[in-house]
Chain A
Amino acid sequence: MHILLRGRDIENIKQLDVYEAHGGFVGMKHALAMTPAEVIDVVKASGLRGRGGAGFPTGVKWSFIPQHEPVKFVTVNADESETGTFKDREIMEENPYQLIEGSLICAYAIQAKAVYIYLRGEFWDIGDQLDECIEALRAKGYIGENIMGSGYDCEVYTHLGAGAYICGEESALLNSLEGYLGQPRVRPPFPAQKGGGLYKEATVVNNVETLANVPYILSEGAGAFKAIGTEQSAGNKIYCVSGHVKRPGNYELPMGATFRELLYQHAGGPLHDDRPLKAMLPSGGSGPIVPLSDEVLDTPMSYEDCANIGTIIGSASIIIMDETVDMTWVASKVTKFFKHESCGKCTPCREGTYWLDKVIDRILDGRGSPDDVKRIADVAENMAGTTLCALGDFAANPIIHTIRHFPDDFAQHVTAQAADG
């Protein structure tokens, strides 16, 4: 059953009357009948965790907002720029009202003045569609003053980015929205604190998929949501499958389904039947790569189980590679991404990604030495944890983990050189 990708089950759910006829705004109505603190408790009890990558408990995040502050904001992270991620796009294209309803419930729970939906610039047509939805909702009293007769007022706006992965990082996103360079901020103060959020006001930043779960939680109850998935990973998750499978695409399954079920039952198995699968990046370019062993295939896709196999489920951008793929080339591809997307604010990230890219290219060209492989691993290890935002750690991952799991793929490029020397 789809909770999120309901556009696949219900024709025209992107029209407001159809959305209303299928339970739309029931969750909002339930929320408005509660106190804001009660709404936060329901979301806490549901076990919902952030779908933007870090998996932070959503209700807990909302409870950090100081209720006594007069001005607060909600910012929806619709920057969706992680390599291999294309789930928020489908939610917003096919089921836009559910995202807006979820954002409004969040806004009510923290008593926000307004919601800003920050879309990656390429999603301008989705922005146009959301603007139309917002107008339709305003006309029916779901947005604006005295929402559904509750006495609560809130506005919803869209904002377009302009091509910068780093603006998906929440503090960079806030800078970008304020018209400054989209570079991360020094924390504390955190966005949830006065001084750290949008226009220096306390702000919740949540991913699109996170918020799209909220109407279900409020209409069906925390228990119904908690009953799906595993102990520590409640609810459904959208898995974006790309690379060497027969049917790449989005699949919505309960958290805790195995990689094997996703890849073989849903995504159709290896693209070429005679080429076994070799490796998987389960969280786009930014999470650790893992070999596709039987143990990995039988691992449940949950926060806790993925930690056990040395990786993360993150945003669940699952990139699959078969035996023909050279992991040195993969490391190079992903490193080029982070080199391009480094905002340049801190030296280890800016210089590190530049240097790593140069040396990997040299290795790929057959001009590298075994020492080069060791050196890029060392540099990557030293980069992790030294930077202002997590991009520095993300950039270290592809190097550290490809070398750890696939040393032969690197050795094949440097052995000839070693023999010469």
Chain B
Amino acid sequence: MAIIGNPKYEARIDRHLAKYETKRSAVMPLLYIAQEEYGWVNPEGIREVAEILNLDPTQVKSIAGFYTMYSEKPKGKYWLQVCTDLPCALQGADEFHAWLKDELDVEEGGTTTDDMFTVEHVMCLAACDKAPMLQCNFHYVENLDQDKMRGLLAKWRQEAAQAANGRG
């Protein structure tokens, strides 16, 4: 699909364009829409955002590259961002992060061979009283331990399998 002319996004794009004094200001919300449509900020999404805002695609690309929440390459179905900043680390987040990579057999920033999970560490997510914690596809999951995490991984695998069956 596309984001331009896609009825799913029309009202949202219009709302963002109306919010600001300049079109250019809408570049960040529109990049989120592109990421939602394509799963990552791909060249097509960049081109479309640039077209809507009358910008040069290279300008849009540099904005996308500046921020960590826009993904410039495909990620696993579940993008796990473990906070390992100081307060979380004081509560065992480094060990938790290392264990999770082992458990899933991935390197830092890597994706499991079945494309299910990408694991990376991030800086403080403003949840330091609920460590260890992570963000899964931008949803906070807090007060984690290994048992709870194993349960979640199993649940997500099951969800993905069901979704695949539903389509098949």
Give the chain A neighbours of B86 by CB distance below 8 A.
83-84, 243, 281, 285, 319, 330, 333-334, 337
Within 8 A of B (CB), among A86-106: 86, 88-89
A240 CA to B130 CA in the complex, in Å?
12
When the two chains form their complex, are residues B90 and A86 in contact, meaning their CB atoms are under 8 A apart?
no
B99 at the A/B interface (Cβ < 8 Å)? no
B87 within 8 A of A: yes
Contacts of A8 in B (CB 8 A): none
Check if B98 is an interface residue, CB within 8 A of chain A. Answer: no
Q: Could you say which residues of chain B place their CB within 8 Å of the CB of A334? A: 86
B28: A residues at CB distance < 8 A: 159-162, 176, 179
Indicate if the CB atoms of B85 and A122 lie closer than 8 Å: no
B67 touches A182 (CB 8 A): yes
**Residue A136 at the B interface, CB < 8 A?**
no
Stretch at the interface among B101-109, B111-119, B120-128: B120-128
Name A152-179 residues within 8 Å CB distance of B. 157, 159-165, 176-179
Instruction: Tell which of A82, A157, A164, A199 touches B124, judged by Cβ atoms closer than 8 Å.
Output: A82
Provide the residues of chain A in CB contact with B122, threshold 8 Å: 163
A242:B129 contact, CB within 8 angstroms: yes
Among B53, B63, B67, chain A packs the most CB atoms within 10 A around the CB of B67
Contact A86 B67 (CB under 8 A): no
- Beta-carbon contact of B123 and A341 below 8 Å: yes
CB of A358 within 8 A of chain B?
A: no
Stretch from B3-11, B16-24, B150-158, B160-168 forming part of the interface with A: B16-24
Chain B: number of interface residues, binned into ranges: 35 or more
Of A248, A249, A281, A340, the residue contacting B123 (CB under 8 A) is A340
Which listed residue (B20, B27, B135) contacts A122, Cβ 8 A?
B135
Name the interface residues of B5-55: CB closer than 8 Å to any CB of A.
19-22, 24-29, 31-32, 53
Contact call B128/A162, Cβ cutoff below 8 A: no
Known: A177-B25, A242-B129, A341-B123. A163 touches B90 (CB 8 A): no
B residues within 8 A CB of A75?
none
- A240:B27 contact, CB within 8 angstroms: no
Q: Which residues of B contact A248 (CB under 8 A)?
A: 87, 128-129
Q: How many residues of A contact B (CB 8 A)?
A: 50
Contact with A along B75-105 (1 / 0, CB 8 A): 0000000000111011100000000000000
Contact A164 B123 (CB under 8 A): no
Write out the residue numbers on chain B whose beta carbons fall within 8 Å of the beta carbon of A86.
Answer: 126-129
Contact of B85 among A159, A180, A333 (CB under 8 A): A333
Q: Provided the pairs A162-B31, A179-B25 are in contact, do residues A337 and B123 lie with their beta carbons within 8 angstroms?
A: yes
Assembly CA distance A164 to B65 (angstroms): 11
Residues of A within 8 A of B126 (CB): 80-81, 85-86, 88-89, 120, 122-123
Task: Say whether A162 contacts B70, CB under 8 Å.
Answer: yes
Q: Which of A124, A159, A178 contacts B138 (CB 8 A)?
A: A124
Residues of B within 8 A of A281 (CB): 86
Which of A83, A123, A162, A165 has the largest number of chain B CB atoms within 10 A?
A162
Instruction: Report yes or no: B22 in contact with A199, Cβ–Cβ below 8 A.
Output: yes
Instruction: For B85, give the chain A residue with the smallest CB separation.
Output: A83
- Asked if A163 and B69 sit within 8 Å, CB to CB, the answer is yes
The answer to whether A244 touches B124, judged by C-beta atoms less than 8 angstroms apart, is no
Q: Mask for A3-41, Cβ within 8 A of B = 1, else 0?
A: 000000000000000000000000000000000000000
Q: Is A241 an interface residue (CB 8 A)?
A: yes
- Residues of the B chain whose Cβ atoms lie less than 8 Å from the Cβ of A249: 129
Residues of B within 8 A of A164 (CB): 66-68
Known: A122-B138, A161-B67, A177-B25. A337 touches B127 (CB 8 A): no
Q: Which 9 A-B pairs have the closest CB atoms?
A: A162-B67, A163-B68, A242-B87, A179-B24, A248-B129, A242-B128, A163-B69, A162-B69, A179-B27
27 chain-A/chain-B pairs, Cβ below 8 angstroms: A81-B124, A83-B123, A83-B128, A86-B127, A122-B135, A122-B138, A157-B19, A162-B31, A162-B32, A163-B67, A163-B69, A164-B67, A164-B68, A165-B123, A176-B28, A178-B24, A179-B25, A179-B53, A179-B63, A180-B24, A240-B129, A242-B87, A242-B90, A242-B129, A242-B131, A248-B129, A337-B123
Other 6 A-B pairs with CB < 8 A, given A159-B25, A163-B68: A86-B126, A122-B138, A163-B122, A179-B25, A242-B87, A242-B90
Interface residues of B (CB under 8 A from A): 19-22, 24-29, 31-32, 53, 62-63, 66-70, 85-87, 89-91, 122-129, 131, 135, 138, 140
